């Protein structure tokens, strides 16, 4: 397994304001300096980086610059993360337009993975049919990824209709898309990340690692997530792709957070190799 880091920590996540009135233009974006982020990630000992669709799109306006930055840092672009509501029939074509654009960017810059989140919670509540809508949309996402030579995976996320274990079960029994377990989101949703990895052994396509304590996301080793069991589960299901540290924000230097997580993960991986 190789270890990467998401650039989100270098500024958190925002969206494009044009998306309020034009769904096709809505993207995720980290407002920080991506040149600094990639250099910090490489200096902390990571081999790859995952980025949001908006940041890759910004750099794609100067493709030689992103290619040069990846070459300079020695980082591989592991994946591109995007997302959508996926439950509103009328908006879906424009949302899939954005997903296709993210897939094109991922292919252009050599990424392996298209990571998607989403599944809107309606103001009036969530009908069971929304899980069918979400699953059908995710199958289309999977098709788009395959067309571009990518693997696609779904990331259960707080504030969506797929938070807790029962909701995770609902979507992965209805859609064929791969699974990107995020240790902190699954734990915050009331699940056991290691158990959910073991429950869907053939669906794991990508892994996000972050820690959690009292509802706060933290660098690895600073919260309550049992990463020894998580990594044991990952090995048991035969997963051997990227492990991506993904921390939404940090009260301090994001480079420090990256170093803390990398050092902790190295220790846990070494201990696991010895047993």
All residues at 6 or more sequence positions from 96 whose CB lies less than 8 Å from its CB, including other chains: 84, 137, 140, 141, 144
Domain with 238 in it: 2-274
The whole-angstrom separation of Cα 183 and Cα 190 is 11
How many CB atoms are located within 10 Å of the residue 91 CB? Answer: 16
Q: Report pLDDT for 249.
A: 95
Q: How far apart are CA 152 and CA 138, in angstroms?
A: 9
- Which CATH number characterizes residue 169's domain? 3.20.20.150
DSSP codes of every residue in 113-125: EEEEEE-PPPTT-
Whole-angstrom Cα distance, residue 71 to residue 86?
Answer: 35
231 phi/psi in degrees, rounded to 5 = -70, -30
Q: What is the pLDDT along the chain (275 residues), one digit of tens a residue?
A: 899 999 999 999 999 999 999 999 999 999 999 999 999 999 999 999 999 999 999 988 888 889 999 999 999 999 999 999 999 999 999 999 999 999 999 999 999 999 999 999 999 999 999 999 999 999 999 999 999 999 999 999 999 999 999 999 999 999 999 999 999 999 999 999 999 999 999 999 999 999 999 999 999 999 999 999 999 999 999 999 999 999 999 999 999 999 999 999 999 987 765 55
Number of domains the chain contains: 1
Strand partners, 212: 217
* Cα–Cα distance, 265 to 260 (Å, whole number): 9
Asked whether the CA dihedral 38, 39, 40, 46 is positive or negative, the reply is: positive
What distance in Å separates the CA atoms of residue 18 and residue 98, rounded to the nearest whole number?
13
Are the beta carbons of 184 and 212 closer than 8 angstroms?
yes
């Amino acid at each position: 397994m190789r270890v990467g880091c998401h650039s989100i920590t270098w500024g958190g996540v925002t969206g494009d304001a044009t998306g309020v009135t034009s769904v096709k233009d809505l993207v995720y974006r980290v407002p920080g300096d991506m040149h600094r982020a990639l250099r910090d990630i490489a200096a902390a000992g990571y081999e790859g980086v995952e980025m949001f669709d908006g940041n890759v799109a910004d750099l794609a306006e100067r493709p030689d610059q992103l290619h040069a930055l990846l070459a300079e840092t020695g980082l591989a672009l592991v994946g591109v993360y995007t997302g959508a509501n996926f439950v509103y029939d009328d908006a879906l074509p424009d949302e899939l337009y954005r997903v296709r654009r993210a897939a094109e960017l991922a292919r252009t810059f050599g990424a392996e993975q298209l990571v998607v989140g989403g599944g809107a919670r309606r103001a009036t509540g969530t009908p069971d049919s929304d899980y069918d809508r979400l699953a059908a949309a995710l199958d289309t996402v999977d098709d788009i990824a395959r067309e571009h030579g990518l693997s696609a995976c779904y990331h259960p996320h707080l504030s969506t209709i797929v938070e807790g274990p029962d909701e995770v079960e609902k979507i992965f029994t209805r859609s064929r898309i791969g699974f990107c377990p995020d240790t902190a989101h699954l734990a915050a949703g009331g699940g056991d990340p290691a158990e959910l990895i073991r429950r869907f052994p053939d669906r794991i396509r990508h892994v996000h690692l972050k820690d959690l304590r009292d509802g706060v996301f933290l660098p690895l080793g600073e919260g309550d997530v049992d990463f020894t069991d998580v990594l044991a589960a990952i090995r048991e299901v035969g997963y051997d792709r990227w492990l991506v540290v993904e921390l939404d924000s940090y009260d301090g230097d994001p480079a420090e957070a990256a170093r803390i997580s990398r050092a902790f993960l190295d220790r846990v991986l070494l201990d696991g190799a010895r047993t």
